[in-house]
Amino acid sequence: MVIQNKHLAQVYADVEKRNPGEKEYLQAVLEVLGSLSVVADKRPDLVDAGIFDRIVEPERLIRFRISWVDDKGKVHVNIGYRVQYNSAIGPYKGGIRFHPSVSASVIKFLGFEQTFKNSLTGLPMGGGKGGSDFDPKGKSDNEIMRFCQSFMTELAKHIGPDTDVPAGDIGVGAREIGYMFGQYKRLRNEFTGVLTGKGLTYGGSLARTQATGYGACYFTNEMLASKGESFKDKVVVISGSGNVALYACEKVYELGGKVVAMSDSNGYVYDENGIDFALMKQLKEVERGRVSEYPNRVPTAKYFEGCSNIWSVKCDIALPCATQNELDGDAARTLVKNGVIAVAEGANMPSTLEAVEVFLEAGILFGPAKAANAGGVATSGLEMTQNSMRLSWTFEEVDEKLKAIMKGIYKSASKAAEEYGCKGNLVAGANIAGFLKVAEAMKAQGVSY
């Protein structure tokens, strides 16, 4: 990808120099700056205010040691991170990821993306992200609890309901949020909405669990409607089988489509009759099992080793909902050759830069992560509102608000794309719309950070 505007090309060169080898972070910055050239050309005031130079540098990156003891009494050490990326439009907000691949680069890329995503939701939330290289797989509940408590013992010094409000992400679901919330409360002796994704008995919001997957489908529905299409009778492939993937699967069925393949990091399962949502949910969410076990219960289903091969399955709609860079240029070409009409990113940055170019050149409908998967953080924003008001909305109320927010995001991204001369390009549209709100706020607040 080439950055046309000279000033932005220099900003990117500086980022490269300051963050050597941070490939995920550099990829995310390059993708955003690539589409902001038209903004820099049109808005010299933002260039003069140093907005582009400042927005690519996190306000703060905290790195810390997490020591914890396993069930056999052995001491382990992991690294924890919290990036407080940008607070121009609200308190830092973004999930926590527990996965061995977590590094400063991964956390910074996620925090950078989060800043624009949160802006797109229209809610007052800044950008943040956090996590650890801790691997929750194979750990007992007690080990998970001790790890979460140790993680929060440090994190609690840096967060608060008006400062920074973390949530879940890969490897962090309701169980982990519960343990972290309990530890925060114990340390601070206060009951506040400091985390979102909480359980329903202690301040969580109905529909938060479903929100990212549902939201990705609502967004896809808007894209499809722009071409007079819908999910009805469409064949859908979804990568992953975690929180986002599962609830995307449920919503696809509700909207009239059929999900024929899902995966985990080892492989994927295919059933031309359609994946049974209730069974997959039981296997993954309740039993914490593997996708490879699914065919033991459904004889028509077949399991294939290797998760990336899922993109060779012929489909009308593809929803990558697992992890970053899981869909490369070759996979994108295969999807296009097989007649895909829409791709929407449930995961963060699941498509490589090359894959995105393939989709845009082929002229298929493409929903980038910061727009398509913003339903999760938007509903986290609604959880914060409910916590502040000390009341709870019904599932239907939250779902209606989520739907309206996803429609709004689609509208702002497509409007910005049109205004800046790239009609139909939602990658550029989402970057521009998300950026402009943060940029105006930063300009109005002067050069502080």
- For the annotated catalytic residues, the residue numbers are 129
Asked whether 310 and 275 are in contact (CB, 8 A), the reply is no
Task: Report the residue number, 317 or 442, with the smaller CB distance to ligand NDP.
Answer: 317
Is residue 323 part of the contact set for ligand NDP (CB under 6 A)? yes
Residue nearest to ligand NDP (CB): 242
Residues recorded for the chain: 449
Out of 58, 111, 126, 168, the only residue in the binding site for ligand NDP (CB under 6 A) is 168
- For ligand NDP, the closer of residues 212 and 414 by Cβ is 212
The answer to whether 178 contacts ligand NDP (rule: CB under 6 A) is: no
Q: Which is nearer to ligand NDP, 89 or 245 (CB)?
A: 245
Residue from 33, 236, 331, 347 binding ligand NDP (CB under 6 A):
347
Is the Cβ of residue 267 or residue 424 nearer to ligand NDP in the bound state?
267
Q: How far is the CB of 376 from ligand NDP (least distance, A)?
A: 3
Ranges of beta strands (E only) in 46-88 are: 60-69, 75-86
27 binds ligand NDP, rule: CB under 6 A:
no
Counting contacts by CB under 6 A, is residue 265 touching ligand NDP?
yes
> Tokens 């990326």, residue?
85
**Strand pairing class (60-69; 235-239):** unpaired
Quote the least distance from Cβ 93 to ligand NDP, whole Å: 11
**Contact between 171 and ligand NDP per CB under 6 A:** yes
DSSP state of 284: I
In the block, which residue shows the tokens 């071409």?
227
Residues 59-88 touching ligand NDP, rule: CB under 6 A, are none
DSSP bridge pairs for 343: 318, 366
Instruction: Using the rule CB under 6 A, give the single segment among 45-53, 345-353, 387-395, 432-440 that binds ligand NDP.
Output: 345-353
What's the closest the beta carbon of residue 9 comes to ligand NDP, in angstroms?
29
- Beta strands, E only, 204-315: 235-239, 258-263, 267-270, 302-305
Q: Please state the separation of Cα 228 from the chain's center in Å.
A: 28
Q: How many CA atoms lie within 13 A of 22 on its CB side?
A: 21
Stretch in the footprint of ligand NDP (CB under 6 A) among 32-40, 58-66, 168-176, 229-237: 168-176
- Could you give the 3-state DSSP secondary structure of residue 358? helix
Residue 266 beta carbon to ligand NDP: minimum distance, rounded to whole angstroms: 6
Stretch that binds ligand NDP, among 44-52, 319-327, 399-407, 421-429 (CB under 6 A): 319-327
User: Per-residue x/- marks for ligand NDP, 228-257, CB under 6 A?
Assistant: ------------xxxxxx------------
Q: Check: CB of residue 260 under 8 Å from CB of residue 297.
A: no
- Find how far residue 340's CA is from the centre of its chain: 22
Q: Which of residues 364-383 bind ligand NDP (CB under 6 A)?
A: 373, 376
Q: How far apart are CA 374 and CA 220, in angstroms?
A: 12
Are residues 169 and 347 in contact, defined by beta-carbon separation less than 8 angstroms? no
End-to-end C-alpha distance for the chain, whole angstroms: 29
Beta bridge mates, 261? 237, 270
Cα 74 to the center of its chain, rounded Å: 34
Q: Are 367 and 342 in contact (CB under 8 A)?
A: yes
**Which region among 49-57, 158-166, 174-182, 262-270 touches ligand NDP (by CB under 6 A)?**
262-270
CB of 356 to ligand NDP, least distance (A): 15
Cβ neighbours for 73, distance < 8 A, ≥ 6 positions apart: none
Query: Judged by CB under 6 A, which of 56, 313, 318, 322 binds ligand NDP?
Result: 322
Tokens 């900003």, residue located:
11
Judged by beta carbon, residue 37 or residue 312, the one nearer ligand NDP is: 312
* Rounded Cα–Cα distance for residues 284 and 269 (Å): 13
**Is 170 one of the binding residues for ligand NDP (CB under 6 A)?**
yes
* 169 contacts ligand NDP (rule: CB under 6 A): yes
Smaller CB separation from ligand NDP, 240 or 368: 240
Q: Stretches 45-53, 68-76, 142-150, 164-172: which one binds ligand NDP (CB under 6 A)?
A: 164-172
Q: Which residue has the tokens 């540098």?
A: 57
Contact between 259 and ligand NDP per CB under 6 A: no
- Hey, what are 261's tokens? 């393949």
User: Applying CB under 6 A, what is the total number of residues that bind ligand NDP?
Assistant: 24
- Using DSSP, state whether 245 is helix, strand or coil: helix
Residues at the interface with ligand NDP (CB under 6 A):
168-171, 212, 240-245, 264-266, 307, 321-323, 326, 346-348, 373, 376
